[in-house]
Structure 1
Amino acid sequence: MPTPNAPPEALLDRFLSDCRRVAPVARDERIGLGVSGGPDSLALLLLAHATFGASVEAATVDHRLRPESTEEAEFVAAICHDLGIRHTVLTLPGRRRGNLGQWARELRYAQLREWASGQKLAWLMTAHHADDQLETVVMRLNRGSGVGGMSGIRARNGNVVRPLLGWRHNELVGIVRASGLGAIDDPSNRDDRYDRARLRKALATADWLDPLAAVTMAAALDEADEALAWASRRVGNERVVREGDELIFDARDLPPEIERRVVAGCIRLLNAKAKLDGPKVTRLLNTLRGAGKSTLDGVACDARGTGWVFRLAPERATGRTG
């Protein structure tokens, strides 16, 4: 396989600027890339290699959901070999369960994070782009998500960074074509059994929707979400007290969203494994505002005087002390 052509300097300058806008990425820091072999991740591979050189390593997650997946991982390995990039193939452990897409996504990130940690990589980059952001925002809008959900794909989450959110998919396809490489075509991207695939087809005909505007909006909401989280932590520190095995929250005269976040924080303090979706928390808040009581994810919650009280439900408390 001939060595791929490097992207032009103007694109490399843009890529480096976007990396540093997202995170303080230094040229001498070791960087990991999640590369599937599709055009977006191959473009990331080419841009990162030409920008950061020997600092870059790559990993491909073989989901083993399609017969071609192992061959596709080998295809990426061959490209990395030609570029002089260290490459690792990761496989998903355990049996599939629940929502297939969610299962694969959660384990994929877990595997990539573990790999990056084991290799002592400073950053882990993925190739999410503006069109991905638009799809995510529309999907979450359709589900009635709040501020956090509508912030979409975050440009940075810990050491996971996504420097291509300001790039369009067709730009990334162009980079790969100009390099002389082919890219893997995953048929699941067009499979109508998947919500995202159906949405992608619909958005392809909606030229009045601007993916870059969705990126700007999501970034603004991400900042708003961070501000709300900061305010909620301050309120929690000031208004939540522990008395024995109970947490008591003085929720008087607070905005509903701050109430929601502090209540969720109280529940997670008592049960770190709590899975708090929006409708559950909304129902609990309505109950507490009406001076009622309820149990959510193993935590008993009730209104008492001027406070809302949270404690482990008896059956969970018994289980913890046994």
Structure 2
Amino acid sequence: MPDANNDPLTTVGSALAELIGSPTAPLLLAVSGGPDSMAMLDIVRRCWAGPVFVATVDHRLRPESADEAAIVAGYCAGIGVPHAILYPDVPITGSVQSAARAVRYRLLEQEAARCGATFIVTAHHGDDQLETMLMRLARGSGIDGLAGVRARNGRVVRPLLGLRKADLVQHCAIHAIPFVQDPSNANTDFDRVRIRSALQGFALIDPLQAARSAAALAEAVDALDWIVGQEAESAITIKAGTAELAPNLYPAAVLRRLVLRCLEHVQPGIAPRGDGLGRVIDTLQKGGQTMIGDVLCNGGESWRFAPAPPRRKPFDARATTE
């Protein structure tokens, strides 16, 4: 039960105003048909003054997904909210959850551009945040990972982090809002489902308090990034596709971020973390040379990052002639 001071409309309306700034910005809501996103749809349309659009991504991974998307479409038609069903261009393969997530956000970005929405709104809530933090804690994540799901990431905003799933299910019940249950949410092959199951009946951790901790960590990450941005102006020298870093006596967290900036300059998109990045820094601190991705890294008084030379092809005796 949400308490009297945690009314969903007030909580979400305040969060949206803080995250977005403009009270009339056009919003695209990502609605799957589950209770979280269906409650979000009803709450946002009641508390937001600007245009609201809805999109449902049908990943075509389950036979039921078409019917679920149709339920959202029918509900939106009944309340007069524009709705679109989005489909992947090609079948999703590989690591299903991560691949589906990447496809989902790409399709939502395209739809936001089509309908003129300034922001994309998702239904991540406080329980999701706690699960994310515990998953990353189990993997040994640092401060960036433990900051959890960001309330705002670019133009994606998540105004429900101050609510619990129970609040959203109750909202659906009170307002007779239909919703569906995704059977993958009970599939224990997924880490998140196992953590969710373990948390059931475990009241020692309040998800909303955990969400506050995640928000504080996110602020610390932003502060650290700001410091690194200031320091990079004098510490990093860019030269024709290479980067040089004067390592100085930086704290470890600052040094790691400076090295990441150098690596990103040489190979855009490279994102080493954890032990991989740690090994590079350890080698450079000892004055050595190492490679990571397609970047050749040299230590010394100044650390140099440059494109690695082309790798030699293996010798093939069959290609020789007498």
TM-score by length of 1: 0.91
Match for residue 135 of structure 1? 131
**What code does the residue aligned with 2:306 have?**
R
**What code does the residue aligned with 2:69 have?**
A
User: How far apart are the structure 1 equivalents of 2:50 and 2:17?
Assistant: 18
User: How far apart are the structure 1 equivalents of 2:241 and 2:124?
Assistant: 44
Aligned-residue offset at 1:52 = 2.5
User: How far apart are the structure 2 equivalents of 1:269 and 1:242?
Assistant: 8
User: How far apart are the structure 1 equivalents of 2:256 and 2:193?
Assistant: 33
Aligned-residue offset at 1:76 = 0.2
Aligned-residue offset at 1:25 = 3.7
The answer as to 2:305 corresponding to 1:310 is yes
Match for residue 210 of structure 1? 206
Change (3 A) 1:73 1:53: farther
User: How far apart are the structure 1 equivalents of 2:132 and 2:91?
Assistant: 26
Residue among 161, 172, 176 paired with 2:157: 161
Q: Provide, for residues 121-157 of structure 1, a one-character-per-residue CA deviation record: whole Å limited to 9, x for no partner.
A: 1111101000000000000000111111110000001
User: How far apart are the structure 1 equivalents of 2:39 and 2:56?
Assistant: 14
Q: Provide, for residues 47-89 of structure 1, a one-character-per-residue CA deviation record: whole Å limited to 9, x for no partner.
A: 1111236711000000111000011001000000001000000
User: How far apart are the structure 2 equivalents of 1:70 and 1:223?
Assistant: 40
- Is 1:35–1:41's contact at 8 Å kept on the other side of the alignment? yes
CA-based RMSD of the aligned residues comes to 1.6
Matched residue SS, 1:73: helix
Match for residue 19 of structure 1? 16
Aligned-residue offset at 1:181 = 2.3
Identity %: 37
Matched residue SS, 1:315: coil
User: How far apart are the structure 1 equivalents of 2:91 and 2:8?
Assistant: 41
Match for residue 63 of structure 1? 59
Match for residue 315 of structure 2? none
Aligned-residue offset at 1:29 = 2.1
Change (3 A) 1:122 1:245: closer
Matched residue SS, 2:83: strand
The answer as to 2:190 corresponding to 1:187 is no
Aligned-residue offset at 1:94 = 2.3
Unaligned runs of 5+ in 1: 1-8, 317-322
Unaligned runs of 5+ in 2: 1-5, 312-322
Aligned length: 306
Residue among 172, 176, 187 paired with 1:176: 172
Moved over 6 A (4+): none
- Is 2:242–2:265's contact at 8 Å kept on the other side of the alignment? no
**What code does the residue aligned with 1:21 have?**
E
TM-score by length of 2: 0.91
Aligned-residue offset at 1:244 = 4.7
Aligned-residue offset at 1:251 = 0.4
Match for residue 319 of structure 1? none
